[in-house]
Amino acid sequence: MNTPSTRLDTRPPEPSANADAVFESVAELFGLLSTPVRLKIIGALCHGEKNVSQLLAEIDTTQPNISQHLATLYRAGVLGRRRDSTQIYYRLQSERVATLCRAVCTQVAIELEGEGDVPAHERLLPAASSRPR
Q: Where are the domains of the chain?
A: 27-125
Q: What pLDDT is attached to residue 12?
A: 63
Q: Does residue 119 carry a pLDDT above 90? A: no
Residue 86's pLDDT band (cuts 50, 70, 90): very high
State the DSSP string of 93-127.
S-HHHHHHHHHHHHHHHHHHH-GGGS-GGG-SSPP
Q: What pLDDT is attached to residue 8?
A: 61
Question: Which pLDDT tens digit goes with each residue over 93-117?
Answer: 988 888 888 888 888 888 888 766 7
CA distances to 52, 55, 102, 123, 128 from 41, rounded to whole Å, are 10, 7, 12, 25, 28
27-125 CATH choice from 3.30.460.10, 1.10.10.10, 3.40.640.10, 3.40.50.720: 1.10.10.10
Q: What pLDDT is attached to residue 77?
A: 92
Q: Does residue 129 carry a pLDDT above 90? A: no
CA distances to 46, 51, 65 from 83, rounded to whole Å, are 19, 10, 20
Residue 40 identity? K
CA dihedral 109, 79, 35, 95 (to 10 degrees): 30
Q: What pLDDT is attached to residue 82?
A: 97
- Mean pLDDT, the chain, rounded, equals 83
Q: How confident is the model over 14-43, as a mean pLDDT?
A: 87
